[in-house]
Structure formats: C-alpha cells, structure tokens
Structure 1
C-alpha cells in the first residue's frame, strides 16, 4: 500500500500526515494527540504558524514514542541566512521539545532576498551533516527557484511542499521535482484554499466540484477522501489540516479503497492553472520580515 514514501536520501516518511496551518494554538495540542491516537505518524508545522510548542504538547499527550513520529517544520524568511537558520533549528526543537527534526524545510523561496535563501539552505545542509535533521527540503519552490538552488548547493532537496489539489496541480513543478527524485508534498491537498477564504485569487470550492462529488458517491466516500486518495495514488504526500476529531479520522480512512485509472485521469483534468495561495515570486516584504519569537 501507499502508506510510506522513501525520500531521495533513503529516509522513509509516512505519506499522509496532519497539517496544522491555521490551527489555533489552543486547539492544536488536542488535534495532534487525536491524530496520533488514530494512527497518523506524520505531523507538519512551521515556525510561522505559531503553534510548534502545542504540536510538541500534543505529541507528549498522545503517549506515542517520539521515534515513531515524523516531525517536519519550516524556517520562516526572517530567519533566513546561515547563522540565523541554524538558530531557527534551535528555536524549533526547543518549542517542540525534541532533540532532532525529521524534516526541516525553507518555507518559501523569497526571490527578492534569494542570497539569504541560499545561505539558509546551506545551513540546512550543515544541520543534516551533523545529524540534527534527517532530511531537508523546500516549500513553494518553482522550477526556476529550484534550478538556481541546485546550481549553488550540494544536497538535492528531499521534498518540495507546494499548493496542490485537483484545481491546481502544478504539472511543471511536479515534472522537475520527479526528475530530481524530490517528493511533492501537497499543502491544501483537498483544496482547502478554495473554501477557507481570504486569499487573493479565489477558486471554486473543490469540495463542491461535480466530478469529485460523483466519484465520491460511486465509492461511498467523501469528496475530501477522494482527493486524498488521488494524492496518494499519484505518489505524493498530503497533509490535510483539521482540528475536528471526526474530520481528522475521516481524512485518515483512505487506505482501504482505490480509484480507477479513469477516475485518476478525471481528477487530473480538473486543473485550472490558477493558484489559490500566494505567488511564490511576489515580494512580500512586510510579511517576510515578521519576526519569529524565541519562545
């Protein structure tokens, strides 16, 4: 089954995990503990989410051994640069209450300050060499960002976390990542960005798409389960977010059915070419400069 993925450095990572983007800190620990109790073994967070500490609390509350859980987090742009990024690792492990990270990635390419991005990635390489992280990667990197990174650094990223759902599939990014053995990890894997609201390029709700709903009805599943099954069968990682126990359980119940080749192709064909989230090439200075607290 497609429960695990092997990264390009040999590290095995669960394919399906819990994301905590926009999860309120006071609800995050319970969500993480619930997810781990259900069977999740991958948790994704980020310095910029402001809930790393609560992720650590949820891990401890769950009673699941640390070594059984794949923890990944992201360095925010204000902490880019060699020394600052190494310190960002220190902040992350302190907040999470762990001694090492399974995956540490750069949150966004930040093209206007790409020299700092390169230095940040070199810091990740040093943390990897020292065994402080098991794998390193990037997020929201487009092919041109990745080309420059690969030309100027030594370690090929293990993973690229990108907006990826049936309405926005980023085939060129997927192609380039595949050429380098980089796993695609879908944020907004069930098209959440299409119904959370507040984004600059609103898309129709993926949960209401008639093609997705039709496939769901044929399988006796929800639209969300169909989209997650599609992600997994296409060899990707997915990190749906929820703080609702029923939804958390529902999102994990996707390993006991298969979509047909025609159904997979139908989902692939829904791509609009329109992203719902921020354009990774935009200069978002005020946003990038937001400081990450020490504690």
Structure 2
C-alpha cells in the first residue's frame, strides 16, 4: 500500500503552495518525506536546489518545519524555548534573535512565562517562531492554524505574507479552504497520494463557473425564470421553493447582472433579487473530491 505515489509538485521561489485533500490523502506523509523525516522508496526531489536523499543534511539546513502539533517545551519560557533552538542551530546572538521573533509574533509580554501557561494560539505562534530561527529558504507548514481563533490565525497569515515577500517559499497543508484562498499562489489537490489537480485559486474556481440566482416576487413564475436561466447559462436550474429562488451555474464569463435582469424583465418575471457570484473553494473542493471526472 502506498501513502504517496506519483506525487509531482513544483513550487516557485517566494510563493505559497497550498496542499489540499481529504483526510488520508497523503498530505502529511508528503511533508514528512520532503523534510527528510521519512526516506522515500523511490522517486526524486530537490528542495532549495538540494537532492532530498543525497544531500539530506543540506536540505535540513535550508528548511523550517511547523508540524500539526506544537513542539515547544512547556517547562521553558517562551524566550528560553527560542534561545534553545537558536543555540542548537548555532545562530549568532541567540538572545537577540529570540527577542526579534517574540516581537514579530506578539509574544514579548509573555516571553518570561512558561510555555505551558500559553493559550493554544500562543503556543502555535511560538512553534512557528521556532521554525524561523535560521531564516529558512523553504518553510513547511502542516495545518498550522487548526483549532486557532480568528485573531491568532490572522497573525500567522500576516507572517506568511511577510515571509514570501522576503523570498521565502512556503508549502502549506490546510483543511481551511479560506486559508488556501487567502494565502496560496497555487494549489495542489492531493488524493490517494498523488496530485489530482493543480492551479491557481482562480483556475480552480473556473472549473465550476459562476453561480446565478434570482429570487422571484411570485412563485407562479419560477418555471418561467428557470427557462430564462437555462437559456442564458446552459446549466440545469435548481429550485429553492422556500425562498422562491431559482439558481444555475454558468461558465459564460460574458453574462452580466444587467443582462440577466433585462432578460427576466422581458420574459415577464418580477424580481425581488438577482445575483452573480464566483464559487468558493469549498464548493470546488467538494466537486473535485466527489466527482472524479473533473480531476486531471
């Protein structure tokens, strides 16, 4: 049985690659392989220009890793944790580097407290700070914001943006589709240990098309509205009788809201509301993982 097989992935320098996939798809195994924690049975990979197997030590010197669970020592203070990591990595002026990172992650006030007293979000921020001790060329983040409150999540998102602006390459696995949409330049959908689909968030969304919905003033004209949507979108209309709404999906990028309203008015359909919206990554993810014909 293969956890990862035929995984083909390329990430440009200074970008974020979001790795998505259902539970058990092979995301964490891929991270463990690419960070030298597991040895591959076959295949090849280069991290920051270094061969993953033949130059494993050079790979480790080039990367930072934040796993799914915080790995800080609860008996040490926040500052002591970072100073320990700095000394292990032979960083010059470990105290200064620790203080820089404590400030960057908003932990200066708590620096003298034992990490065991930190909240979950604070421990995750401290863990991410530890992975940045040596200013890595490539940073691996394995579901770094799982379980965090929105404020802590936003802090980590902002740090990731700053890192890529400075040239760091980030590989991010996440279960939060909004996170991938906000941070990732490219997305790789992993399923059964391989990349089933890849592209930018916009390219993923284009696989579904634009959602069109109208809410009519009179339920007796819902069928007439559905006929207009069928003609304009080419998609099979859906009905929400509770809301007196009719919806459809179109890949026609030329369809505009004014045109939609004009066509419905010409057909004698009184409206309460009409909207066009792009799909969310959640909808794309569900479509790609439920309907394999869309995966390539």
TM-score by length of 2: 0.34
State which structure, 1 or 2, has the greater radius of gyration over its C-alpha atoms.
2
Which structure has greater strand proportion? 2
